[in-house]
Chains A and B, each alone.
Chain A
Amino acid sequence: MAYPDELLDSAFSLLRAAPATQANLRRAVSSAYYALFHLLIGEACRNWSRPEQRNRLARKFEHARMLAASKQCADRYRNAASGSAEAYLFTVAHAFSQLQEKRHTADYDLSEPLETTEVALDISLVQDAFEGWSMTQGEQISQDYLFSLLFKDKS
Chain B
Amino acid sequence: MPFAPTTFVHQPALDSAVRAVESSFASQVVHIRYSLADDSSGAPAIFFRILVRDESALIERLREFSMRISIALMNAARTDENGLHAYFNFRSVSEQARHRNPDWE
Residues of chain A whose beta carbon lies under 8 Å from any beta carbon of chain B: 64, 67-68, 71, 75, 78-79, 91, 94, 97-98, 100-101, 104-105, 112-113, 115, 117-118, 120-121, 124, 128
The tally of CB-CB contacts under 8 A between chains A and B is 52
Asked if B55 lies at the interface with its beta carbon under 8 angstroms from chain A, I say no
Given the contacts A75-B80, A78-B74, A117 and B41 also touching, CB distance less than 8 Å: no
Q: Are A117 and B40 in contact (CB under 8 A)?
A: no
Given the contacts A98-B87, A115-B91, A79 and B75 also touching, CB distance less than 8 Å: yes
Given the contacts A115-B91, A124-B59, A101 and B71 also touching, CB distance less than 8 Å: no
Task: List 13 additional contacts besides A94-B67, A115-B95, A118-B90; criterion CB under 8 Å.
Answer: A75-B80, A78-B71, A79-B71, A94-B70, A100-B40, A117-B57, A117-B59, A117-B62, A118-B89, A121-B59, A121-B90, A124-B59, A128-B67
A-B contact pairs, 16 of them (CB 8 A): A64-B41, A67-B41, A71-B85, A75-B79, A78-B71, A79-B75, A91-B67, A98-B87, A101-B87, A104-B40, A115-B92, A117-B95, A120-B59, A121-B59, A121-B66, A128-B67
Q: Write the nearest CB–CB distance from B85 to chain A, whole angstroms.
A: 5
Asked if B11 lies at the interface with its beta carbon under 8 angstroms from chain A, I say no
| Nearest chain A residue, comparing its CB with the CB of B47 | A101
In the assembled complex, the Cα of A115 lies from the Cα of B63 at a distance in Å of: 15
Residues of the B chain whose Cβ atoms lie less than 8 Å from the Cβ of A117: 57, 59, 62, 90-92, 95
Chain B, interface residues (CB within 8 Å), range: 20 to 34
Residues of chain B whose beta carbon lies under 8 Å from any beta carbon of chain A: 39-41, 45, 57, 59, 62-63, 66-67, 70-71, 74-75, 79-80, 85, 87-92, 95, 99, 101
In the assembled complex, the Cα of A7 lies from the Cα of B76 at a distance in Å of: 35
